Amino acid sequence: MPALVIGTGYGGSVAALRLAEAGVDVHMVEMGMAWDTPGSDGKIFANTTSPDVRSYWLRTRTKQPLSNFLGFPLDKDVPRHTGILDAEEFGGIIVYQGRGVGGGSLVNGGMAVTPRRENFAAVLPSVDAAEMYGTYYPRANAGLGVSTIDPAWFETAECYRYARVGRKHAQRSGFPFVFVPDVYDWDYMKREAAGTATKSALAGEILYGNNHGKKSLQQTYLARAKATGRVTISPLHKVTSVAPATGGGYTVTVEQINTSGDTTATKAMTADKVFFAAGSVGTSKLLVRLKATGALPRLNGEVGKGWGDNGNVMCGRANHMWDATGKLQSSIPTAGIDNWAAGGAFAEVAPLPTGIETYASFYLSITRNPHRAQFSWNAATGRVELNWQTAWKQPSIDAAKTIFDKINAKEGTIYRTDLFGTYKIWGDHLTYHPLGGAVLDKATDNYGRLYGHPGLYVIDGALIPGNTSVNPFVTITALAERNIEKIITTDL
């Protein structure tokens, strides 16, 4: 086949669409499920507040980002199943990843943020910012269906009371409060609020998929790719090897799995070009293993390096009784506190859609964290390991404190200590935004071509070295648009 794409997230979806538009037949392989069939409740995706068999990737117990609430542990046993959210545990960090056709777009909050241009040189130093902001960011935003909430509606919507409280506290402490674009269908959300559409964001759907209003890749890039007639997708297919084929191109070994994670068949495919788009962790682990075991021996020493967590850290604040945040909270965040220039932190005002009044403000901070981890092959265990250390989160906590210590002092409030365990303020054990591991212009050339093996490309978040200053998926998409355009022009 001409082109094989490993993964169906942002980078892979961009590659598949643009290759197909250029007349190239594309086969996409996806480890997760298709997510196109309703469960017994008539819904494709499970609700955030009641995780079930659909919720986790091959776990027997849930691993929720908020592990506790008011002293009660939240995690529960579930049947082992190829569910939508992978909570992958390494030595020092849990990495949350979407599993299924659409990748991370299935499970994120859809916050579609373009970094401020003055921060871009620190994100991707080898990339021309003028091209990105003139061509590829606009192309990505259009392709993803990005739009911003109606500010007038925001002011009165009961489901965003929590965000208005967050705004009041931010502004009273002198922090800039910004609306953040999203890929949610805002007209649909207005109908949810009016009671004329099935509730989705207003039913707390986010962590394990969203049944109605969110424009995931299934509705955008992948829908357009399939419509070309040149793209086939094989879900529940896991790539185990990529190696040079005798007659040119590459032999790709794929295991077909069932919903319990058992291998039911092993297949070999041959492709002229192979695009690694399995996500920062998936792509990095695969490349590190293939280099170490001799399948792709000419990959360079940068493979596996430069991995970061986008400085993710979570916290909650306990507000006063007169600062109610609302029983009904939209699961789609739409605003943030931007203290990047002064304190190295951008904090999204996140929902706590519990269905009860919590008098709490909750935040996911993205921070300037200098630490970078490396993936390496452990031959004794036959596994790829990551050397991240939980202590490396301290700069992220310090950056987030530049916002929330000040707000607490001004408001006379305290941090919540019941969300991440017992007497634990900071959610410093996780990331939603894995980045790096096959860094642009280091493990690859400046357009994602892997060194040493012509015809192999990285086109996902593995290219971005650890930090984007905001939620990363628009940058991943825009970079993929830039790279695939060059590759189609010069390599095909």
**Active-site residue, from 30, 348, 481, 485:** 348
pLDDT, tens digit (0-9, with 9 covering 90-100), for 438-487: 999 999 999 999 999 999 999 999 999 999 999 999 999 999 999 999 99
Q: Is 89 a catalytic residue?
A: no
Looking up residue 379, the CATH number of its domain turns out to be 3.50.50.60
pLDDT, tens digit (0-9, with 9 covering 90-100), for 345-373: 999 999 999 899 999 999 999 999 999 99
Domain assignment present for 84: yes
Instruction: Give the position of tokens 């991240």.
Output: 388
- What is the distance between the alpha carbons of residues 102 and 96, in angstroms, rounded to a whole number? 15
The total domain count for the chain is 1
Domain assignment present for 319: yes
pLDDT surpasses 90 at 37: yes
Domain assignment present for 253: no
pLDDT surpasses 90 at 72: no
CA angle 325, 98, 479 (to 5 degrees): 100
209 confidence band (pLDDT: 50, 70, 90): very high
Domain assignment present for 261: no
Domain assignment present for 376: yes
Residues 6+ apart with CB under 8 A from 382: none
Q: String of b and e for 258-284 (b: at least 16 CB within 10 Å)?
A: eeeeeeeeeeebebbbbbbbbbbbbbb
Residue 191, classified by CB atoms within 10 Å of its CB into exposed (0-12), middle (13-18) or buried (19+), is middle
pTM of the model: 0.98
User: Per DSSP, what are the bridge partners of residue 456?
Assistant: 274
pLDDT surpasses 90 at 6: yes
**Active-site residue, from 88, 433, 453, 485:** 433
Domain assignment present for 147: yes
Strands 231-234 and 345-350: unpaired
pLDDT surpasses 90 at 388: yes
pLDDT attached to residue 49: 86
pLDDT, tens digit (0-9, with 9 covering 90-100), for 102-139: 999 999 999 999 999 999 999 999 999 999 999 999 99
- What is the distance between the alpha carbons of residues 253 and 118, in angstroms, rounded to a whole number? 43
Domain assignment present for 279: no
Q: Is 433 a catalytic residue?
A: yes
User: Nearest Cα to 447, choosing from 458, 437, 431, 436?
Assistant: 458
Backbone angle region of 30, left / alpha / beta, with phi > 0 → left and psi within -120 to 50 → alpha? beta
pLDDT, tens digit (0-9, with 9 covering 90-100), for 261-319: 999 999 999 999 999 999 999 999 999 999 999 999 999 999 999 999 999 999 999 99
pLDDT surpasses 90 at 69: no
> What's the domain range around 474?
3-225+306-491
Domain assignment present for 112: yes
pLDDT attached to residue 422: 85
- What is the distance between the alpha carbons of residues 167 and 160, in angstroms, rounded to a whole number? 11
Sheet holding 360-367, edge to edge: 177-179, 335-339, 345-350, 360-367, 313-318, 414-415
Mean of per-residue pLDDT scores for the chain: 97
Q: What proportion of the chain, given as a percentage, has pLDDT over 90?
A: 96
